[in-house]
């Protein structure tokens, strides 16, 4: 079950990164980047690195977008 969760989450992160790269509309790209950053923060939580996850969530989703 946990392996399925990792697979779904990593697939989401890859597709969000591709969406950021290929979207032409700046607002859509920003929203996709916020989703990417949130996904990566969840990956860091699952890897038991809460300090890195908090930094990623604050910088990636908060400050950058």
User: What proportion of the chain, given as a percentage, has pLDDT over 90?
Assistant: 78
pLDDT for residue 65: 65
For the beta carbon of residue 29, count every other beta carbon within 10 angstroms: 16
What mean pLDDT do residues 15-35 have?
Answer: 94
Radius of gyration over every alpha carbon of the chain, rounded to an integer in angstroms: 12
CA–CA separation, 60 and 2 (whole Å):
25
Domains of the chain by residue range: 1-63
Tens of pLDDT, residue by residue over 44-64, are: 999 999 999 999 988 886 777
Q: Which two tokens stand for residue 5?
A: 């969760």
Using CA atoms, how far apart are residues 12 and 55, in angstroms rounded to an integer? 20
pTM to 2 decimals?
Answer: 0.86
Residue 63 confidence (pLDDT): 76
Angle at 43 between CA 42 and CA 47, to 5 degrees: 115
């Amino acid at each position: 079950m946990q392996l399925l969760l990792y697979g779904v989450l990593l697939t989401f992160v890859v597709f969000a990164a591709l969406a950021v790269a290929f979207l032409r509309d700046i607002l859509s790209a920003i929203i996709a980047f916020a989703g990417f950053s949130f996904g990566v923060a969840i990956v860091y939580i699952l890897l038991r690195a809460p300090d890195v996850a908090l930094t990623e969530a604050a910088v990636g989703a908060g400050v950058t977008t």
